Amino acid sequence: MALSESDYLALLVHRGWLNHEQVASILPELKAGEALDELLAGVLGWEAVKVARLRRTEAGRIFEVPGFEMLGELGSGGTAEVFRCREKKTGEVMALKVLQQGPAGHALTKAAFVREAKLLARLEHPGIVKGFGVARAGEVYFSKMEVIPGRTLLEVLDDGEPLDEGAALTIILTVAEALAYMAGLGLVHRDVKPGNIMWTEEGEVKLIDLGFAAGAGEASAADSAVGTAEYLSPEQARGGAAADLRSDIYSLGVTLFQLVIGRLPFEGSDNEEVLRKQVMDSLSSPELKGRGLSPHLHYFIEKMMAKDAEVRHQSWKQLIEDIRQQLAGRESLDYEGQVRDERGKRGGRGFRR
């Protein structure tokens, strides 16, 4: 069904092709009955090929990049959309991450998009999505990545499926190994969270978004916090903190908490309230004591989420060895067998590594 002119105009604004000043400049003629496409070309100076392409693709909502066939949409975020596509020349199926037009107009966002694509192309680790570079088709910027069939851990949690303790620790171990690899290259992730971790149909775990990754020691602006509010360490929440692997460890601790409890440790009505709680409030969760979870899990969460970065694990190697020992001990003691009935009652899910 074709869009009405008003809906199409609203879509052009929503997707960043028009700002409110430009709309105001053509609105009188539009109300007088002039054709929108003619106004875009005549008043705003758009080329005819651009006007036709945007009309054909509903302001870019329908994916269209030369050389690729769209097979379906995989997801979308604040700055980009991801499509499953087939490259016509090779027949290879891949994921294309397309920068939305509005963000593409912001130099910093565009630079971050290109930087992430180039970073993924040079990283080689089974726990990190593989990238194949960045390209541009006219005004459209896109990066090429491997397709990962599956769901993000956030989607798993949103479906009401908290994980059992052993599965959660196995996931945390896999992510920690990927982050350790990044740290070995002098990189800190800065946005570790369930929404950036995929669980594949084969039971693999992969980091999929490195948009906030930075060199170790790189500082953010003094009045800004980089990352997602609910997962920021206290030092990140205060703003101006240098990129530090111990902040990633904190965010991974929040992720572990959320995987086994099914909710975030600190919640609020807005980001400011959440950030305040990250800095000021102590960790408190009656669920940790009431669900048959082991003292070792309490230890990991409390240590990884310590307010003082000096109290947390000080290296990925330290954390990885700690988790491996715990998983080995659980297997030898058949801890899961002891609490299987409890897990069955609460519907916990298990993952394979």
Q: Report strand pairing: 131-137 vs 140-145.
A: antiparallel
Question: Which residues are CB-neighbours of 223 under 8 A, at least 6 positions away?
Answer: 239, 240
Q: Cα–Cα distance between 331 and 170 in angstroms, integer?
A: 12
Q: Cα–Cα distance between 316 and 318 in angstroms, integer?
A: 5
Q: Cα–Cα distance between 116 and 293 in angstroms, integer?
A: 38
The SS3 call for residue 132 is: strand
- The DSSP code for 241 is P
Beta carbons of 82 and 198 less than 8 angstroms apart: no
* 308 belongs to the catalytic site: no
3-state SS of 311-337 is CCCCCHHHHHHHHHHHHHHHHHHCHHH
Which two three-digit tokens encode residue 221? 């602006």
Neighbours of 21 (CB within 10 A): 7
Q: Cα–Cα distance between 165 and 257 in angstroms, integer?
A: 10
What are the two backbone dihedrals, phi and then psi, of residue 71, each rounded to the nearest 5 degrees?
-110, -10
What are the two backbone dihedrals, phi and then psi, of residue 127, each rounded to the nearest 5 degrees?
-95, 10
Identify the H or E element spanning 81: strand 80-87
Catalytic member of 7, 37, 164, 191 = 191
Q: Cα–Cα distance between 236 and 154 in angstroms, integer?
A: 22
51-90 as b/e, with b when 16 or more CB fall inside 10 Å? bebbbeeebbeebebeebeeeeebeeeebbbbbbbeeeee
Which two three-digit tokens encode residue 249? 């460890």
**Residues noted as catalytic:** 191
